[in-house]
Amino acid sequence: MKNKLPVFSILLLSVFAQLFVSHKNCFAQPPPPAPSQISKPFARPSVKNLPVEKPYVSIDLNYSIFLPEPTYSNNWIFQEGKIGINVANANVVGGKQNFKEFNQINNNTLLSKIQGKVTDEKYTETDNLYSSITFFAFDDGKFGVRKFSLSDERLYIMFAQFENSADGKIFEEAFKTFKIVGESEIKAEIQRKFEDATPQNLPQEPASKNLQSDLKEENLKGKVKKIVEESETITDDPNKKNRKISKTLEYNKAGNLTKTVRIDYRGNPDSITVYGFIEGKRVSKVGYIKYPYNPPPPMAVPSAQVEPPSDSRYSMSYEKKYKAGKLIEEILYRSNGKVITRTTYEYKDNQIEQLVYTADGKLNQKYVYLTDKNGQVLERSDFDILSNKPYGDKKYSYVYEHDKQGNWIKKTTSKEVTEDGKTFYKPLYVYYRTITYYE
């Protein structure tokens, strides 16, 4: 063999495979179910139902395969066994001419760690993709199927572990549906996720007569139709351009918010919220998009209390109170009527004090804002709840640029810092808004 295989890479791949066949810890534990699913038993799918109608498309590893949504990132747990998919740089193989020897060395390394034998092995080449599929029978009574697929840039590693040898054929057929996908297919999958997660539009009439329009509350002027917000971290490196879209907001002609889309750090939409009115209440409904790179949700602790029934038409409702045309209180409710937070606002000259209370009425956050004569925030101080004093490192100032309507289109956020004995505001972030108006 002309190009010696990297020993570390071989061991790494073998250890990866070992994780799947080890009966002690085949897979890392999947993330806990969402709070609404805590009381429901988790029903694992069966490989007998494979293949599924539509393939799963991994937007982080750029492949598709006719399997259901993963149990967790690129890993599936079935009633009959488990599947995992990972990827390595193609350089670990040392070239396509070394593919067969690479496969054999990995077989030997794996079987030196886990007692068993190879029962069958096949090689294929399609669409410039070199693949091998190897069947294992282990001495502990378990069975495995591993597939390597080598492209010019990546080595894909698939491994299934199961207890009934007859299921090996099903896992093999599932692996045959594996396909490397391009950017156009990734974009189509993200769009599909977006459409599936977007809630239906909520009624806009009859609107509550007791509420101000969202444009007025947000101090927006003119007939705003849509806002695209972008954020940028200020850096001394001119080559590090990090200006990215963070959120889009849409308004109707009455000045009320109808839809927001939040964009994650990879530039993909991760939540869609629609707004409207139901039975006189201002309400919203949110849909979330799950990506393989998302961290698992926090562990939810089941409550012994019986929750009141939820209204499936919306996720949250809002109750607001005003004084002299200014918002003084906002209560956010779940669709079952339980309080999420209560926020109060107190105005004095050019200062606004904002207090945020938890569902059980405890003060949780305090902010003090200084504004100009038009109500635009110039400074913000975050307070320590226990001492009721500003945090020493959480004071911010804002500088704006405006469009012809008087709405800001660029906001520079600076943080108060002390360096070399001098205290000053250091610019940290720049936020941009592209605003579209109704004609």
For the stretch 223-253, pLDDT in tens is 999 999 999 999 888 777 789 999 999 999 9
Q: Single out the residue of 311, 316, 310, 249 nearest to residue 285, CA to CA.
A: 316
Q: Number of C-alpha atoms within 13 angstroms, CB side, residue 67? A: 35
pLDDT at residue 29 above 50? no
pLDDT at residue 55 above 50? yes
Q: What is the mean pLDDT of residues 276-283?
A: 95
Measure CA 17 to chain center: 28
Q: Which two tokens stand for residue 175?
A: 């692996």
pLDDT at residue 390, as a whole number: 76
- Cβ contact 121:145 at 8 Å: no
pLDDT at residue 32 above 80? no
Domains of the chain (ranges; CATH) run: 7-181 (3.40.1000), 200-299+311-437 (2.40.160)
- In this prediction the pTM is 0.81
- Cβ contact 72:31 at 8 Å: yes
More confident residue, 275 or 153: 275
Q: DSSP label at 91?
A: G
pLDDT at residue 208, as a whole number: 87
Q: What rounded mean pLDDT belongs to the chain?
A: 87
**DSSP letters of 242-296?**
--EEEEEEEE-TTS-EEEEEEE-TTS-EEEEEEEEEETTEEEEEEEE---TTSPP
15 confidence band (pLDDT: 50, 70, 90): very low
34 confidence band (pLDDT: 50, 70, 90): very low
pLDDT at residue 50, as a whole number: 87
Q: What residue spans of 39-144 are helical by DSSP H?
A: 99-113
3-state secondary structure (DSSP) of residue 90: helix
13 confidence band (pLDDT: 50, 70, 90): low
Q: Which residues of 197-235 are buried (b: 16+ CB within 10 A; e: fewer)?
A: bbbeebeeeebeeebbebbebeebbeebeebbbbbbeee
pLDDT at residue 83, as a whole number: 94
In this prediction, what percent of the chain has a pLDDT beyond 90? 68
Q: What is the mean pLDDT of residues 143-160?
A: 93
**H or E element: which one contains 154?**
strand 154-162
How many DSSP H helices and E strands does the chain contain?
A: 5, 23
401 confidence band (pLDDT: 50, 70, 90): very high
**DSSP letters of 380-421?**
EEEEETTTTEEEEEEEEEEEEEE-TTS-EEEEEEEEEEEETT
In this prediction, what percent of the chain has a pLDDT beyond 70? 88
Q: What is the pLDDT of residues 284-303, one digit of tens each?
A: 999 999 888 887 666 666 66
pLDDT at residue 293, as a whole number: 82
Q: What is the mean pLDDT of residues 69-91?
A: 91
More confident residue, 6 or 335: 335
pLDDT at residue 405 above 80? yes
pLDDT at residue 393, as a whole number: 72
pLDDT at residue 93 above 90? no
307 confidence band (pLDDT: 50, 70, 90): confident
**Least confident range of 29-33, 48-52, 200-204, 222-226:** 29-33
